[in-house]
Amino acid sequence: MKKASVTCFISVLGVNITSMEKLELATYWINQIYPVLQIFFGTFGNLLNIIIFTRRDLHQNPCSLYFLIGSINNCIVIDFGLLTRYLASTWNWDPSLTSNVYCKIRNLLVYAPLTLSLWFIVLASVDRYLLSSPIVRFRRLSNLSMARKLILIL
């Protein structure tokens, strides 16, 4: 960490730095700084989404239910995926190396919600399409009970 700080200071002074030092600095930013920003802003943004989509006036909107569940899934992905990878790369603390059970549970808690979040966006898009359809039968498919059933199926 100290070398990256010195490299950054040298580049500010206008002194030429080598390609290797640039690579070390980029690696430092990618592995140490960027994940912290991603964890902080990702968690903060998803918590704001959860607060917004749990408002009483949005309870009857199936699209907001899809986005609410998607935000909860994204929080799970950030907490169990990105945070554990950051701890493993920064402090060499990786329980998945010693525990097969933890490794399997972590993979389940990361990859399943990550995939589901994308499907909830698809469902919200289909719901908006159904709601705006000129065909009455399609518009009737956009309701809260159908949204709950589809969420349970996924």
What mean pLDDT do residues 54-78 have? 92
Confidence of residue 123 (pLDDT cuts 50, 70, 90): very high
pLDDT of 33 higher than 90: no
pLDDT of 73 reads 93
pLDDT of 54 higher than 90: yes
Q: Are 62 and 34 in contact (CB under 8 A)?
A: no
Average pLDDT over all residues of the chain: 85
pLDDT of 147 reads 92
Instruction: State the Cα–Cα distance between residues 101 and 95, nearest whole angstrom.
Output: 10
Confidence of residue 12 (pLDDT cuts 50, 70, 90): low
